[in-house]
Amino acid sequence: MPSFGDSVKGMSKGLGVTLKTMLKPAVTVHYPHEKEEVTPRARGVIALKEENCTVCMLCARSCPDWCIYIEGHKEKRPARREGGRERTVSVLDRFDIDYALCMYCGICVEVCPFDALHWSPEYEYSEFSIASLLHDKEKLGEWEATVPEAEPLELGAEVKKAKK
């Protein structure tokens, strides 16, 4: 057991900590009225840039809990140049992400070879019913507007050559 003097000291130190904290301003962010600044890397919601998607299905296959649903069909398009061959283009019919299942791991964004998927730090899309958490391609396209610019990297990082 600590001595009487130590006890009194220990007890009063505890009181001191709480009193000191009380006199300092609180750290609370008053959420609905003001918002915390989200880091640009935050994995809030996945945005889809539809014109970049080639229906390659890589994202759907690499998703660890298979929450991406993709359907597409092939269409013939006229040739780019005069006399060229007709092109076959894959057209996206359906691109759904079920956010009720999503683990927010970001593998789909990373694996996409054509930069069609991006992370947006938006987080305010809660719903009253679980079914409404299934975002279709129109809704995922709307998130594209909230995607931030990539941050510059820290000192000492290897700067990659810009893609394309």
Contact 41, 151 (CB under 8 A): yes
Q: Nearest 10 degrees: CA dihedral of 138, 144, 146, 148?
A: 170
149 binds another protein per the rule CB under 8 A: no
Contact 118, 147 (CB under 8 A): yes
Cα 120 → chain centroid: 5
Residues 81-100 that bind another protein (CB under 8 A): none
26 binds another protein per the rule CB under 8 A: yes
> In the complex with another protein, which residue's Cβ is closer, 106 or 141?
106
Q: Which of 77, 105, 132, 136 binds another protein (CB under 8 A)?
A: 105
Q: Which of 51, 52, 57, 64 binds another protein (CB under 8 A)?
A: 64
Contact 49, 144 (CB under 8 A): yes
30 binds another protein per the rule CB under 8 A: yes
Structure tokens, 131 = 């079914």
Nearest approach, Cβ of residue 68 and another protein (Å): 13
Contact 47, 138 (CB under 8 A): no
Nearest Cα to 60, choosing from 15, 13, 112, 9?
Answer: 112
Nearest approach, Cβ of residue 125 and another protein (Å): 17
Cα–Cα distance measured from residue 133 to residue 43, given in angstroms and rounded to the nearest whole number: 16
Q: Which of 70, 119, 120, 147 binds another protein (CB under 8 A)?
A: 119
Q: Which of 158, 162, 163, 164 binds another protein (CB under 8 A)?
A: 158
Q: Which region among 4-12, 67-75, 80-88, 136-144 touches another protein (by CB under 8 A)?
A: 4-12
Binding site for another protein (CB under 8 A): 1-2, 6-7, 9-11, 13-19, 21-22, 24, 26-28, 30, 39-43, 62, 64, 103-107, 110, 119, 151-158
